[in-house]
Amino acid sequence: MIATPPSMAFKPRQTSVAASAGQRTPALWEAVEGWLEEEREQLALWVPVALGAGIAAWFIIPNRLGWLGFCCIMLAAASAALILPGGGRLRRAVLLASLLACSGCVLVWGKAMFWGAPPLAQPVFVELTGEVKAVNPVPARKMSRILVRPIDPSGLPPLVRVNLGDDLKPAGLGQGAIVRFRTRLMPPASPSLPGGYDFARRAYFDGIGASGRVLRPIAVLRPAVSAPPLRTRLFAHIMGQVPGAGAGIAAALATGDQGGISEADAEAMRRSGLAHLLSISGLHVTALIAAVVFLLMRAMALSRRAALDWPLMLIAAGGGALAGLGYTLLTGAEVPTVRSCVAALLVLGGLALGRDAITLRLVAAGALVVLLLWPEALVGPSFQMSFAAVVALVALGEHPRFRAFMAAREEAGWRRLGRHLLGLLATGLVVELVLAPIAIFHFHKAGMLGSIANLVAIPLTTFVVMPLETVALLFDSLGWGAPFWWMTARALDLLLLVAHGVASSPWAIMRSSAQSFAIFGLILAGLLWCLLWRSRWRWVGLIPVAAGAAMMLNSAPPTLLVTGDGRHVAVRTGNGGMAILRERAGGYVRETLTETAGYDGVLDAMAALPEARCSPDLCAVKLTGGGRSWNLLVTRSGHRVGGAILARDCARADIVISDRFLPYGCRPRWLKVDRRLLGRTGGLAIHLDNRSIRTVRTVDDEHPWLVQPAIRPRPFRPNQL
């Protein structure tokens, strides 16, 4: 046996952990740099993503201290990037991404400070005299939405939006008219439940500080001195020319105004995955520009001199660009239209220069333009769904296998048709998969059969409906448009037949309860990683996508829903159904509750539940969740309840909910929800399984579209059980 010298027993290991890590660091650095070099053509696509991350952070983080903290963290990351070895792509990528994220947060913060309109502090009854800025008819609801600028503001916002019923609409009402009417103005509505549509946020950036409804009497002090805008006149003309139910869709295709579509048809289009046809976007702009370019090329080719001496493509591209710009302005310059117009202009520029411009860089350029001009559009479903669909389509079109499958070849006509149908089905499936998490996050439901419906709807709209409508408008100048309007109506009837047929299927949509920002962000980051990179490492993005989808599918629906005013409460019943407190609640309230809960059934009356005991003033319900029973107490009338009785019943309850101010003597065991609390948090979604509560807003939320309380509220914490 050989003895080990004592000196060797205490010597450091020749391959220590630090030394091993130091040896591997250069190899890891070289691998990352090699990967970035391989993906060098794709790095520019992440510029709008980094800018959008900073914009999203401003909307998610509640207050200015958090916004400043985010900017400081991004600047610290940029400073840390400077200590990385020079000459590599990683250093520049981290530096630029951090600065762009900080710039995005500052950009939307600055626009919110200097651009938006603060909301009305509290509801008021006023007799308002103002100038009409816009009149938007909504024939499907027999009303019009009017934007009015108060002449004598006296504490009113600079712009208000009011609804005017058709039965009250006076003669002479139009843009530029001076009107006087009575109205009850309210701050623009925040979401009534977590995950709902935030009209207050959109109204703030649109400059609208209050909304209401016109009451009698209404008088026109000065009639409109100019003709209605071209968009309004075109909308009214098409509504009067197209016979049948398709008139609203025809008007929407031409003007982007969906006010003429009935609610039943609009819901069928949404459930069948055809709602994108109603929003002026890439399909409509591309079809118009392509038609203009085609007609100009054919017309100029008839002249020998023009065909030989003129730059035909440059002239046709210029005509198409003018047509696209005019169409964008005519339809109101919404985000999808602006994105499509910018992308189309880049494509036309590439074609005029003889280059292939239909790439993801084109989409990134369009996104960058929109974010720089309208950063608030990032959090809206229109921006997200529009760009996600286009990115998915272009990424699929750039894939070598799909491009080889769709490449032109010598084959029989039926095989070519079948191949193109399969390609159309594949693109529809890809778009549905990409849009599903966005639709679930914003609308709490996603279409499942849209790819099948689009096989018929997209060719029908692109090659039949829109050309017929264009020809009908042209022949209307000669008074010969009636036959073409009749054919347009029949084509739209077929489109509606497809929409209603697909929407009637029980598999048409998948419902889900409202999801959190964390799950949605995880899925969105994974999708962007898969779509924007090109090497095999792109598939790493499937890990967060799968994790987010699993969390979304396994998320339990809320046990209790409370609207922001406290009047409407819905509970999950033991048999999986849902019951509502006030059975006379309107259709909008019922739809909002069921969509937020991901419930596709009829709401029962809470008083009819076997586990409920209700009087005219109070309703006590026994619920289960988290392995125990819960006692719920809800007020259901405006009558005063005796203090001793209320205190006794509150002490027996775990949760008390009321639309009034509850006295301090009402002390339930876990949670007291009254007007005082709801004024700080908005609507609530309560999960009893894990004792969690989701709120519309946090008590320290400082976003400018919220009406801030005069006294800073204390943090919201339920009692410990």
Tokens found for residue 201: 């946020």
**How far apart are alpha carbons 636 and 579 in whole angstroms?**
14
Q: Which residue type, as a one-letter code, is found at position 89? A: R
> Look-up: residue for tokens 């819901």?
267
pLDDT score for 9: 47
pTM score: 0.86
Residue 477 CA to residue 499 CA, distance in Å, equals 32
What residue has token string 């047929």?
501
The pLDDT value given to residue 1: 42
Name residues of the chain where pLDDT drops below 70. Answer: 1-24, 153, 279-284, 331-337, 339-340, 343, 347, 350-358, 709-717, 719-721
SS3 letters across 378-407: HHCHHHHHHHHHHHHHHHHHHCHHHHHHHC
In this structure, the number of other CB atoms found within 10 A of the CB of residue 720 comes to 7
- Residue pLDDT, tens place only, 344-381: 777 677 666 665 556 788 788 888 988 998 999 999 88
Please tell me the predicted confidence (pLDDT) of residue 19: 54
Candidates 217, 208, 206; CA nearest to 186 is 208
3-state helix, strand, coil in the chain (%, to 5): 55, 15, 30
Cα distance between residue 636 and residue 420, in whole Å: 59
The encoded tokens of residue 641 equal 């309840």
| Alpha helices (H) in 115-162, listed in sequence order | none
CB burial class (10 A; 0-12, 13-18, 19+) of residue 538? middle
Q: Shortest CA distance to 162 belongs to which of 142, 137, 183?
A: 183
Contact 693, 193 (CB under 8 A): no
pLDDT at res. 717: 65
Helix (H) or strand (E) holding 308: helix 304-309
How do residues 689-702 score in pLDDT, each as one tens digit? 889 999 999 888 99
At residue 342, the pLDDT reads 72
Name the token pair of 669.
């065991």
Cα atoms in the 13 Å half-sphere on the side-chain side of 674: 13
Nearest CA-CA partner of 469 in 495, 496, 492, 453 = 492
- Cβ contacts of 50 within 8 Å, gap of 6 or more: 96, 97, 98, 100, 101, 104
Residue 8 has a pLDDT of 47
- State the pLDDT at residue 479: 85
Instruction: Report the relative pairing of strands 445-447 and 509-511 from DSSP bridges.
Output: antiparallel
